[in-house]
Amino acid sequence: MDVTIFGSGYVGLVTGACLAEVGNKVLCVDIDPAKIAVLEGGGIPIHEPGLEELVKKNRDTGRLSFSTDAAAGVAHGLFQFIAVGTPPDEDGSADLRHVLTVARTIGEHMDTYRILVDKSTVPVGTAGKVAETVREALATRGSDIEFDVVSNPEFLKEGAAIEDFMRPDRIIVGTDNPRTAELLRALYTPFNRNHDRVMLMDVRSAELTKYAANAMLATKISFMNELSNIAEALGADIEKVRIGIGSDPRIGYRFIYPGCGYGGSCFPKDVRALGRTARAIGYEARLLNAVESINRRQQGVLFEKIADHFVGGLTGRTIALWGLAFKPNTDDMREAPSRRLIESLWNAGARVRAFDPVAREEAFRIYGKRDDLILTQDAMSALEGADALVIVTEWTEFRSPDFAAIARKLNHPLLFDGRNMFDPEVVTAAGLTYFSIGRRPAGTGGA
């Protein structure tokens, strides 16, 4: 099938590459000529494992191409995927300007039946706004061309997006038109060979499903972080509690890891947007408000532990950070806990030496060149002249470090673990004092 993707960011590029991989002819359209030049030159503008190879393979076969020509994009595909950004407004609601601009563009250029597919994460009711925008553009032209608008939310995890698309848990299709539903089912047939994963529903339910899924996962994280603070105050071990409750199949082990808060492009934005949607209909979503409030507090926990330990203040101290991205296998630092920690340390007069396997360039893009920020090329170099080490992101390469070497290299043998990656007994046996989440400090080191 011929498919057009408006937006060549994370969702658009993964969607385009995966649809091309199964034989469709995909045209990705973006307004950013620099991004298109990177893609046409063989690179990709984001970090996602396996994506660069998949894009190159399908570009070389001619199944995947890129353009800034919106009219050509509208002419190309029966399916017009809208995969542009929906950044949060100041009030927390999703900004639909880019989505509606694409809808207007499609209405201005379409000359035959088209299916507009909302792939961007959008509030309930957006499909109606998209349809109205297309109708207005058609009316301006004096045209009456048939079209449909479908909600087809993405469920891609950064770092595992290709696997998620190629072997999805579910494919949500929201439409009230049986014919359109069958066309979407046909498009997704290659991803249903094991069993049918397509779930058909009305448009508004499909739109709400995406927000509900992310809000549920964020709720599990914040609930576990709330428990971790209670456990630490009571002298309990949250890791033992986690294992105890996770053994109940109604709860399970996924998304109940305590830590220093969630970040990224989805959970913070979507929790706020769903809360804003609720307020717009006169409902106060108290649980969603609590989830967000707990996460804001949890992102400050590491700094509080560091500041509490250095009773003389942090002015003149150097703190080493391992991990900048909000999660492993991505360079995404949007609302990452590392940013909250770094900026709090700067405000307290400390310097930061940081290492991340892939987010170094993103950190430099965000913060630029600063005397109080050194971005190192390897993990151990970050420890030079540092008074403590902080683990912020649970990268695989951090799982089994040489604790004795860490203790020797630091000015003070202090390890603050924001992801509970290590066994306290192993860490303290190497001479380090170990601070984690939801557990008592272990060891006797000081500063």
Could you give the CA distance from residue 270 to residue 27 in angstroms, rounded to a whole number?
A: 28
Q: How confident is the model at residue 340 (pLDDT cuts 50, 70, 90)?
A: very high
Q: What is the pLDDT of residues 80-119, one digit of tens each?
A: 999 998 887 767 778 899 999 999 999 999 999 999 999 9
- Exposure string (b/e) for 61-72, b if CB count within 10 Å is 16 or more? eebbbbbeebee
CB 48 within 8 A of CB 330: yes
Mean residue pLDDT of the chain comes to: 95
Q: What is the mean pLDDT of residues 273-285?
A: 94
pLDDT for 160 beyond 90: yes
Could you give the CA distance from residue 73 to residue 6 in angstroms, rounded to a whole number?
A: 8
pLDDT for 446 beyond 70: no
Whole-prediction pTM: 0.91
Q: How confident is the model at residue 444 (pLDDT cuts 50, 70, 90)?
A: low
pLDDT for 196 beyond 90: no
Q: What is the pLDDT of residues 201-245, one digit of tens each?
A: 999 999 999 999 999 999 999 999 999 999 999 999 999 999 999
User: Hey, how many other C-beta atoms are within 10 angstroms of the C-beta on 9?
Assistant: 18
CB 98 within 8 A of CB 86: yes
CB 120 within 8 A of CB 7: yes
CB 216 within 8 A of CB 189: no
Q: What is the pLDDT of residues 396-417, one digit of tens each?
A: 999 999 999 999 999 999 999 9
Q: What is the pLDDT of residues 111-137, one digit of tens each?
A: 999 999 999 889 999 999 999 999 999
pLDDT for 420 beyond 80: yes
Residue ranges in 155-200 assigned as alpha helix (H): 161-166, 178-187
Looking at residue 129, its pLDDT comes to 96
Q: What is the mean pLDDT of residues 19-37?
A: 96
Identify the DSSP state of 254: T
pLDDT for 37 beyond 90: yes
Looking at residue 61, its pLDDT comes to 95
Looking at residue 92, its pLDDT comes to 73
Q: What is the DSSP string of 56-87?
A: HHHHHHTSEEEES-HHHHHHH-SEEEE-----
pLDDT for 313 beyond 80: yes
Could you give the CA distance from residue 14 to residue 20 in angstroms, rounded to a whole number?
A: 10
Residues with catalytic function? 266
**pLDDT cut 70: percent of the chain above it:** 99
Instruction: For tokens 């995890």, name the residue.
Output: 157
Looking at residue 447, its pLDDT comes to 55
Residues 6+ apart with CB under 8 A from 38: 44, 45
4: three-class secondary structure by DSSP: strand
